[in-house]
Amino acid sequence: MTVRWQEHVSLKPYNTFGIDVKARYFVQAHTDADVREALAQAAERDLPVLVIGGGSNLLLTRDVDALVLQMASRGCQVLSDVDGHVVVEAEAGEPWHPFVQWSLGQGLCGLENLSLIPGTVGAAPMQNVGAYGVEIKDVFAGLTALDRQTGELREFDLQACAFGYRDSLFKQNPGRWLILRVRFALSRTLQAHLDYGPVRQRLLEQGVEQPTAQAISDAICSIRREKLPDPAELGNAGSFFKNPVVPAALAEQIRAHYPNVVAYPQADGQVKLAAGWLIEQAGWKGYRDGDAGVHRLQSLVLVNYGQASGAQLHGLAQRIQADIRARFGVELEMEPNLY
């Protein structure tokens, strides 16, 4: 046995909400061989397995009577560099923001709008993580995953991943695919995405007229630090609810009562509404019930002020969902995975 099995381990350091529940067993996997060994031993013991990365998209509501397998592999490398088109690869356990900064340090563009997102590289394709007008699918070059049903490795291209809004094949088939490493198609020439949110305005405020990828990253980091709490200081999982996509007729009904509704027409004729706007209009911004609350500056973010349980946070989320359903006729979907 080369991987180290630990028993009755607190998962508080391994989830950004800081929920203090225990894992019956806990293993960190640093290599593909570690992953295979841990899964094989779990199968021998007839144990279910919960795979985690940085725990930034996870709400734990109870002790985990299973093996918690944390992906702890590290490393990033340039695979090809041809005529300014560069493919890089990162291990699943690589923390996301340091990987983005590594790519910028290599003179590469494409990931700058995804700066300061918590979590790991391996978790990013699960949700098709996106921010400020860029999603994983826009810079995706492939990934390697282990099929837990057959034990075989499979290479996925863009089409095979079935990326959608905060969605993918991997999210649709929980427990089957274990992502080992991910590849990204980057460039040495900047194609700036500045029209989503206050990015362009922030660059102007900072006196940047000809932005570089690093300058865009810096601007986005400053915006995110202002509007989103640092999980190291206040437990949270970032945006807790997806922006709902609704029929145009429902959006117009809402606009008739709330002319300032924040809404974005979609290519298919539907309309994406800003979940944060809906929650704020309903009066939840800054709400607190014990140590479970809604952030005072960003109504999309649920926070743990210290000793909240996952069940308390989930209960708060359900109350918000019920209120938005009753007020607007809109269903809000949670982003974090619930256990």
Question: What is d(CA 146, CA 318) in angstroms, rounded to the nearest whole number?
Answer: 34
How many other C-beta atoms can be found within 10 angstroms of the C-beta atom of residue 77? Answer: 11
Q: Is 250 helix (H, G, I), strand (E, B) or coil?
A: helix
Active site residue 166: yes
Residue 322 burial (10 A CB sphere; 0-12, 13-18, 19+): exposed
One of 89, 112, 135, 335 is an active-site residue; which one? Answer: 335
Q: Of 168, 217, 239, 309, which residue is the catalytic one? A: 239
- Structural tokens at position 267: 């290519």
Give the whole-angstrom CA distance, residue 241 versus residue 146. Answer: 29
Is residue 335 among the annotated active site residues? yes
Q: Which two tokens stand for residue 198?
A: 């206050």
* Residue type at position 22: K
Q: Are strands 85-91 and 177-187 parallel, antiparallel or unpaired?
A: antiparallel
DSSP assigned state of 78 = E
Q: Which of 103, 115, 135, 166 is catalytic?
A: 166
Interior/surface letters 229-255, b for 16+ CB within 10 angstroms, e for the rest: bebeebbbbbbbbbbbbbeeebbeebe
User: How many CA atoms does the CB half-sphere of 299 hold within 13 Å?
Assistant: 17
Coil/strand/helix, residue 66: strand
Contact between residue 109 and residue 188 where contact means Cβ atoms under 8 Å apart: yes
- 45 is annotated as an active-site residue: no
CA dihedral 85, 198, 316, 14 (to 10 degrees): 40
Rounded CA gap, 312 and 189, in Å?
Answer: 47
Catalytic positions, written as ranges: 166, 239, 335
